[in-house]
Amino acid sequence: MRTILTTVGTSLLSNAAKQLNKKQEELTDEELANYLRMTDPVQATAETNSLSRLLWEGDHIVFLHSDTLEGERCARLLSRHYGRNGYKAEMKRVPDLNYQESRFKMRGLRSLVAALIEQIEEEREKGREVIINAVLNNWGPRSYNSGGGIDNERGEKTR
């Protein structure tokens, strides 16, 4: 059994807005859910793109989202989407991970690392393998396997 810790950005909002020719703040949750359901996962969002290459049947997904309304919204919609597709999915807020540059540098990144460590320890106690799916907007998906080694975009070990 595996748990995939996935960082969440706001590509769901930006990609859906572009596709539906609307402003991000005009998009309803129903429109976003339909967008996720109807769009090729590779094209829909950074998160769905990377997960399309990593997910195995029975995987548990934890969406780690920023301390913002947009981050929470995207994580909630992604969690529901994957839950409806048969995966156990949940979301966790990362305190202080927000748009304020000073807080982001001083607290946000530390909070993200602390959340990752806490989640890894929790999942390992359950006997689950943990994969960190650090979604990086323009650099492509990369996952970090808790067993050591970096997986490339095809899910292959690179060392």
Q: Which CATH number do you get for residue 68?
A: 3.40.50.10770
Residue 67 confidence (pLDDT): 84
Asked whether the predicted pLDDT for residue 18 surpasses 70, the reply is yes
CA 54 to chain centre: 12
Indicate whether 114 belongs to any domain: yes
CA 126 to chain centre: 21
Total count of domains within the chain: 1
* DSSP annotation of 44: H
Distance set, CA 87 to CA 48, 56, 62, 80, 137 (Å):
13, 9, 10, 9, 24
More confident residue, 58 or 141: 58
The whole-number average pLDDT for the span 4-32 is 94
Residue 116 confidence (pLDDT): 92
Residue 75 belongs to domain spanning: 2-11+50-151
Token duo for residue 128: 């689950």
Would you place residue 156 in the very low, low, confident or very high pLDDT band (cuts 50, 70, 90)? very low
- Residues 108-126: pLDDT tens digits? 678 888 899 999 999 999 9
The whole-number average pLDDT for the span 30-42 is 96
Indicate whether 96 belongs to any domain: yes
Residue 32 confidence (pLDDT): 97
The enclosing H or E element of 114 equals helix 109-125
- Nearest-5° angle of CA 100, CA 137, CA 14? 75
